[in-house]
Amino acid sequence: MELWYTEEHTKNVRFSIKVDKQLVTKKSKFQRIDIFESKEFGRFLTLDGFMMLTEKDEFIYHEMIVHIPMAVKNDAKKILVIGAGDGGTVRELVKYDSIERIDMVEIDKEVVDICREYLPKTACKLDDPRVNLYYEDGLKFVRSKTNEYDIVIVDSTDPFGPGEDLFTREFYGNCYNALKEDGILVNQHESPYYEADAEATQRANKQLKAVFPIATVYQLHIPTYPSGHWLFGFASKKYHPVNDLKADEWNKLGLETKYYNTELHKGAFALPNYVKKLIGQE
């Protein structure tokens, strides 16, 4: 007997991974949580049946969501992370000795608990003394913050279910207020490739542009996400993601990365024409 995990990327496209065994299946207050073991991708986490990360390719996602803003604003000391229950974003952030405080807000404590136990490669730095964990709604948490954070990283699920409120103009407006005068917001922005995902990308970018003076997207390639072509949003009150890149300073830090480098940083903002058209940058 063969066991396969299959995710429907569209009504006509499916993505499958052969599974050795299922390690966890649990229904939390918010969603169904599953962990599988596979030969090709190692352990992987799904929420409500949707792929969140695999041990083999998560480094791509987590390095690009963290090091892009940190290489632009390398004096950032206080970071807000919304979502990121698997711990990978925090793992990358704690590489920076200059960061003094990381507030991580995750709505579902059971995701964090399960990842601590079954995905220690990503959850390994959640006990760093600079990390403060809050198990609550990210939208409500950020509402009460003003001029407090250097960088806000929104590492959310897709724009439905528990993550739906993290793609609204109200939420982005609250993030704007929570940021200091030269603050940066980075968020998960879906894929530009399949129609439904592209519409979500377009909506999110439009909402960011309505709030921030600088708002664009950058790309990465991650095998286990729909189409493999994925985007993050970059929004800032002051800094341009390429013109204000502090490449020399970042490289002097000597941080170990498997995907990110400062040349790739520049290239990630060089977008294909169909993506430019999608977000109105023609």
Decide if 155 is catalytic.
yes
CA-CA distance, 122 to 126, in Å (whole number)? 9
Ranges 4-18, 158-172, 222-236: which has the least confidence: 158-172
CA nearest to 86, candidates 60, 121, 50: 121
Averaged confidence pLDDT in the chain = 94
The pLDDT confidence band at residue 166, using thresholds 50, 70 and 90, is: low
Neighbours of 273 (CB within 10 A): 9
CA nearest to 188, candidates 68, 100, 108: 68
For tokens 């396969």, what's the residue?
4
pLDDT of residue 108: 96
pLDDT of residue 158: 55
How deeply is 133 buried, as exposed, middle or buried, from its count of CB atoms within 10 A (0-12, 13-18, 19+)? middle
pLDDT of residue 167: 59
In this structure, are strands 3-10 and 229-236 parallel, antiparallel, or unpaired? unpaired
Give 108-160 pLDDT, tens digit per residue.
999 999 999 999 999 999 999 999 999 999 889 999 999 999 999 999 755 44
Can you tell me the mean pLDDT for 18-34? Answer: 97
Give 71-113 pLDDT, tens digit per residue.
999 999 999 999 999 999 999 999 999 999 999 999 999 999 9
Which of the 8 DSSP states describes residue 93? H
Q: Which residues of 173-198 are buried (b: 16+ CB within 10 A; e: fewer)?
A: bbbbbbbbeebbbbbbbbbbbbeebb
pLDDT of residue 139: 87
CA nearest to 150, candidates 96, 88, 91, 202: 96
CA-CA distance, 187 to 61, in Å (whole number)? 11
pLDDT of residue 159: 47
Can you tell me the mean pLDDT for 54-61? Answer: 98
The pLDDT confidence band at residue 169, using thresholds 50, 70 and 90, is: confident
CA-CA distance, 65 to 153, in Å (whole number)? 7
pTM score, whole prediction: 0.95
174: Cα within 13 Å, side-chain hemisphere:
18
Q: Among the options 57, 86, 108, 155, which is catalytic?
A: 155
Query: To the nearest whole percent, how much of the chain has pLDDT over 90?
Result: 91
How deeply is 28 buried, as exposed, middle or buried, from its count of CB atoms within 10 A (0-12, 13-18, 19+)? middle
* Residues 73, 103 contacting (CB under 8 angstroms): no
